A and B are shown apart, each in its own frame.
Chain A
Amino acid sequence: MRRTSLIVATGLLGAAAFAEPVENFALADQHGVMHELYALAGAKAVVIMIQGNGCPIARNAWPHYRQLRESYSDKGVEFLMLNANLQDDRASVLHEAATFAIDAPILIDRTQKVGESLQLIRTAEVLLIDPATWQIVYRGPIDDRLTYEAQKPAATEHYLRDALDAVLAGRSIETPRREALGCLINFPDRQAQQQDSSEVPLRHASH
């Protein structure tokens, strides 16, 4: 009988686990105003929505993010946005914000280093951070209303709202992570890193 070997692999790159705290960062927003994460230590919760120009899901999510800000900012919740896109800069973000009436601070991450440290994948994701521990206690979509090229008239699940209620009440969040729908963010340095760490490119191992 031919002997075959079995390799059971665990984990991926062995990098930061989900439960680790977010490192401090400071970024200027679209108006040139500096925002430092740890300066928000006094907030009950910090929410960061990942923005990107030209993404229909991010655009359609913004009015609902704004509604949540209207309900929760007087409860001590800070609402920010973050753009880690290669192709966006302060000028184009200002233009998009004007067109789409976005009046939240959009932190501009030109080097993509903050985006990488937050392990971002797509725009329109929201990250809910607890300043007591600086841990991300929820990350994922705002709700279940939006999908690619389609939206429902109303959400049936309100993930971010429920997570905010839980944090404010000191309860734990049932599903701390959900797959976000939105536009993939190109992180060339991350893509290159993953390629460099390969030994034998599997797809060429056929000969």
Chain B
Amino acid sequence: MFHTKRLVLLAFLFAPSILRASDPPLVLGDFGLVDHRGVQWTLSRLGDSKAVVILTQANACARNLDLLPKYKLLRTSWEERGIEFLMLNSGPDDLESVRRTAAAYDIDFPILLDDGQLLVQTLGVTYAAEVFVIEPRSRRLLYRGPLTAGSATGGPRGVLKFESSLESVLTRAAAGSVDATVTVAAGADAEAACVVKAPLRAVPDYAADVAPVLMRNCTRCHAEGGIAPFPMNRYLVVRGFAPMIREVLMTKRMPPMQVDPHYNHFENASYISTADVQTLVRWVDAGAPRGDATVDPLERDVKPLRAEWQLGEPDYIVDVPAFDVPATGVIDYFNHTIDLPFAEDKWVRAVQFIPGDSRVLHHLLAYVAAPDTPVGELAVSEDNVSDFLEGYAPGKADATPFPEGTGVFIAKGQKLVMQMHYTPIGVAATDRTRLGLYFHDEPPPRKYQTHSISHWSGGVLEIPPGEANHRMNHNYLVREDMMLYALRPHMHYRGKAFRFSAVYPDQSTEVLLNVPRYDFKWQPTYRLTEPKLLQAGTRIIIDGVYDNSPYHPGNPDPKAVVTGGLQSWDEMFIGYITYTLPNATDH
């Protein structure tokens, strides 16, 4: 059947991301999705590939399975010529069923999960087994259509030659010649099981639907006085930033500190539900309408952030030395060493940070350090750090009480080391942060402590220039039963992904925390909503991936050989675990 599709239709789909009329057509907005193995793929980071082929997939679609051998042959022919092959689940099917299907049929492609069908709708996928080809640097669409579209020439006396349109596009892409045109091949009718079930949804109402989503997920930072650069405190602001809202959701840049929701739950990670993302994207795509409600909920309810001591006046307040943040540039992490005047040992039961200027204080980490720690130094060794006290990350300026019956120990004479991370915002600012400490009256039964599982010094960590997927791995044997409370990945600018797993004494395994999109600028200590008891004999495994390519945003120098070191342009590979030892007879 001959379908006439006008180019301008596809323009409609990509409306928020079109460059300009004179540019080559059909530029996609950037996007990031996590595959069925927990690995995130972001289009703009695939710049080393000449083209990205996306094969849409649905578990129930027989055509996918019929074509699977052809997909694999295609990959074999083309991956060495710089073509990346991904699948996009358009079912939508849930993770477990995708994994089962992949395992059963040996579908060994990364299968991107798109619960909200956001990429599916952006691309306008109509049926599984459709093929899209995208050039990742310009993000231009090069091809869409079935795998086997093409034309035959020759015969009956001469040789019948079939030329696949897809392979013509790949030939040009592999040769580095990016098409000024997009090849659209009309498909044959698809069987029912392959057709994308994308329900038509009513346009969300700004006051009833959209504002609550923003207040649930965004305004803890996007309010006056917060770390976010603009407050979401009235409709017009949100409407103006609507295309950005869509972009940061599609790339998973926002909300920050997202973790893979399939593995455990962390009380201070960011989780935004699929329904909430769909509400926002659908509303943006509909033109961000105001709706009929007279009252603007954002204007009514989003108040400037004002910090106060939530647990009452602290037992002791640390005044962090004032710091002048310049208007622009990069300020590397640095440490303040602060004397503590305590005449006796102390057990900390809760901590609260009140940032001076939360626009510039990106985060800070506080450690309890030995009395002889030199000023400005942090005793960082392979085996352990000075005891970790607590960290501050934006959006979480609440008081942190340590778990019931636990405390962090500060021996008489120990000092506090505070590692500060400031980010310039375009105008000079001075920060005077305060740290409030609350003490136990009596020593608590358990010591709340942090250990670093660490493997970066002594020449083991070395990332070649331009390498996009450098892997590091380490493990730690738990020698006595441990109650695990929190996990913190630590890498520097090139860190891309991090995972903590456990192998239990019975050889069963579990992913403890998967961070598919590690971001050096956001480093919370992720606190388990339900602490886990790890028996002696459990091995904790850490896996990290680094990206030293030019396509990794903020890479200080893709031409450098990157080695382990303290500066942020060096790298580190550390997994911090925070725990108590329930069976310890003394602290």
Q: How far is the CA of A60 from the CA of B423 in the complex (A)?
A: 11
A85 near B240 with CB under 8 A, answer: yes
How does the 8 Å CB contact mask read for A28-60 relative to B, with 1 for contact and 0 for none? Answer: 000000000000000000000000011110111
Task: Give the residues from 139 to 166 in chain A that come closer than 8 angstroms, CB to CB, to chain B.
Answer: 147-153
Q: How far is the CA of A192 from the CA of B165 in the complex (A)?
A: 33
CB neighbours of B243 from chain A (8 A): 184-186
Residue of A with least CB distance to B553: A147
A169 at the interface (CB under 8 A from B): no
B521 near A149 with CB under 8 A, answer: yes
Task: Give the residues from 180 to 203 in chain A that come closer than 8 angstroms, CB to CB, to chain B.
Answer: 183-186, 188, 191-192, 194-195, 197-203
In this complex, which of B15, B25, B198 has the most chain A Cβ atoms within 10 angstroms of its Cβ? B15
Q: How far is the CA of A201 from the CA of B7 in the complex (A)?
A: 11
Return the contact of A186 from the options B150, B181, B240 (Cβ within 8 A).
Answer: B240
Given A13-B21, A119-B20: A152 and B11 interface contact (C-beta under 8 Å): no
B159 at the interface (CB under 8 A from A): no
Q: How far is the CA of A139 from the CA of B15 in the complex (A)?
A: 21
Q: How far is the CA of A7 from the CA of B149 in the complex (A)?
A: 11
Residue of B with least CB distance to A88: B240
A153 near B330 with CB under 8 A, answer: yes
B236 at the interface (CB under 8 A from A): yes
Q: Which of B69-77, B184-192, B346-354 contacts A (4 or more CB under 8 A)?
A: B184-192
Return the contact of A55 from the options B151, B229, B247, B424 (Cβ within 8 A).
Answer: B229
Task: Give the residues from 351 to 366 in chain B that come closer than 8 angstroms, CB to CB, to chain A.
Answer: none
- Give the number of chain A interface residues (Cβ < 8 Å): 64
Given A7-B5, A184-B247: A60 and B25 interface contact (C-beta under 8 Å): no
Task: Give the residues from 330 to 344 in chain B that come closer than 8 angstroms, CB to CB, to chain A.
Answer: 330
How does the 8 Å CB contact mask read for B137-159 relative to A, with 1 for contact and 0 for none? Answer: 01000000110011110000000
How does the 8 Å CB contact mask read for B229-242 relative to A, with 1 for contact and 0 for none? Answer: 11000001101111
A9 near B240 with CB under 8 A, answer: no
B63 at the interface (CB under 8 A from A): no
Q: Which of B99-107, B120-128, B474-482, B531-539 contacts A (4 or more CB under 8 A)?
A: B120-128
Q: How far is the CA of A14 from the CA of B362 in the complex (A)?
A: 45
A171 at the interface (CB under 8 A from B): no
CB neighbours of B180 from chain A (8 A): 10
B188 near A188 with CB under 8 A, answer: no
B328 near A64 with CB under 8 A, answer: yes
* Min C-beta distance of B465 to chain A, whole Å: 14
A1 at the interface (CB under 8 A from B): yes
A121 at the interface (CB under 8 A from B): yes
A25 at the interface (CB under 8 A from B): no
CB neighbours of B247 from chain A (8 A): 184
Given A101-B427, A148-B553: A5 and B181 interface contact (C-beta under 8 Å): no
Q: How far is the CA of A10 from the CA of B237 in the complex (A)?
A: 36
CB neighbours of A87 from chain B (8 A): 236-237, 239-241
Q: How far is the CA of A203 from the CA of B241 in the complex (A)?
A: 25
Given A12-B7, A194-B15: A186 and B239 interface contact (C-beta under 8 Å): yes
How does the 8 Å CB contact mask read for B213-253 relative to A, with 1 for contact and 0 for none? Answer: 00000000000000001100000110111111001000001
Residue of A with least CB distance to B127: A206
Q: How far is the CA of A188 from the CA of B425 in the complex (A)?
A: 29
How does the 8 Å CB contact mask read for B179-205 relative to A, with 1 for contact and 0 for none? Answer: 011111111100000011010100000
A183 near B18 with CB under 8 A, answer: no
Task: Give the residues from 82 to 114 in chain A that come closer than 8 angstroms, CB to CB, to chain B.
Answer: 85-88, 99-101
A8 at the interface (CB under 8 A from B): yes
- Give the number of chain B interface residues (Cβ < 8 Å): 77
Return the contact of B424 from the options A14, A60, A121 (Cβ within 8 A).
Answer: A60
* Min C-beta distance of B96 to chain A, whole Å: 26
CB neighbours of A150 from chain B (8 A): 493, 521, 553-554
* Min C-beta distance of B43 to chain A, whole Å: 13
What is the count of residue pairs linking A and B with beta-carbon distances less than 8 angstroms?
205
B330 near A15 with CB under 8 A, answer: no
CB neighbours of A101 from chain B (8 A): 327, 427
Q: How far is the CA of A198 from the CA of B138 in the complex (A)?
A: 24
* Min C-beta distance of B258 to chain A, whole Å: 14
Return the contact of A6 from the options B165, B196, B239, B493 (Cβ within 8 A).
Answer: B165
Given A4-B186, A186-B239: A12 and B165 interface contact (C-beta under 8 Å): no
Q: How far is the CA of A61 from the CA of B8 in the complex (A)?
A: 35
Return the contact of A153 from the options B23, B145, B329 (Cβ within 8 A).
Answer: B329
Residue of A with least CB distance to B247: A184
Given A184-B243, A199-B6, A206-B196: A6 and B427 interface contact (C-beta under 8 Å): no
B21 near A56 with CB under 8 A, answer: no
Residue of A with least CB distance to B16: A184
Return the contact of B195 from the options A7, A191, A206 (Cβ within 8 A).
Answer: A206
Q: How far is the CA of A201 from the CA of B556 in the complex (A)?
A: 43
* Min C-beta distance of A91 to chain B, whole Å: 13
CB neighbours of A85 from chain B (8 A): 240
CB neighbours of B124 from chain A (8 A): 202-203
Q: How far is the CA of A157 from the CA of B96 in the complex (A)?
A: 47
CB neighbours of B329 from chain A (8 A): 151, 153
Given A7-B186, A12-B11: A60 and B425 interface contact (C-beta under 8 Å): yes
Return the contact of A202 from the options B2, B126, B151 (Cβ within 8 A).
Answer: B126
Residue of A with least CB distance to B242: A186
Task: Give the residues from 486 to 514 in chain B that come closer than 8 angstroms, CB to CB, to chain A.
Answer: 493
B585 at the interface (CB under 8 A from A): no
A59 near B8 with CB under 8 A, answer: no
B88 at the interface (CB under 8 A from A): no
* Min C-beta distance of A90 to chain B, whole Å: 14
Q: How far is the CA of A149 from the CA of B394 in the complex (A)?
A: 14
CB neighbours of A8 from chain B (8 A): 181-184
CB neighbours of B2 from chain A (8 A): 5
CB neighbours of A86 from chain B (8 A): 236, 239-240
A76 at the interface (CB under 8 A from B): no
Q: How far is the CA of A15 from the CA of B22 in the complex (A)?
A: 7
Return the contact of B181 from the options A10, A17, A99, A188 (Cβ within 8 A).
Answer: A10
Residue of A with least CB distance to B256: A149
CB neighbours of A12 from chain B (8 A): 7-8, 11, 18, 21, 23-26
B11 near A203 with CB under 8 A, answer: no
Q: How far is the CA of A5 from the CA of B242 in the complex (A)?
A: 37
Q: How far is the CA of A202 from the CA of B8 in the complex (A)?
A: 10
B19 at the interface (CB under 8 A from A): yes
CB neighbours of A10 from chain B (8 A): 7, 25, 180-181
How does the 8 Å CB contact mask read for B5-48 relative to A, with 1 for contact and 0 for none? Answer: 11111111101101111111110000000000000000000000
Further contacts, 11 of them, CB under 8 A, given A11-B7, A149-B554, A179-B19: A4-B150, A7-B183, A10-B25, A55-B230, A87-B237, A121-B18, A121-B20, A152-B556, A153-B330, A198-B9, A203-B13
The 5 closest A-B pairs by CB, nearest first: A87-B240, A54-B230, A59-B426, A150-B554, A15-B21
Q: List 13 A-B contacts (CB under 8 A).
A: A4-B145, A5-B186, A10-B181, A64-B328, A100-B427, A148-B253, A153-B556, A183-B244, A188-B287, A191-B15, A194-B11, A202-B9, A202-B13
Q: Which residue numbers of A lie inside 8 Å of B, CB to CB?
A: 1-2, 4-18, 53-56, 58-60, 62-64, 85-88, 99-101, 119, 121, 147-153, 179, 183-186, 188, 191-192, 194-195, 197-207
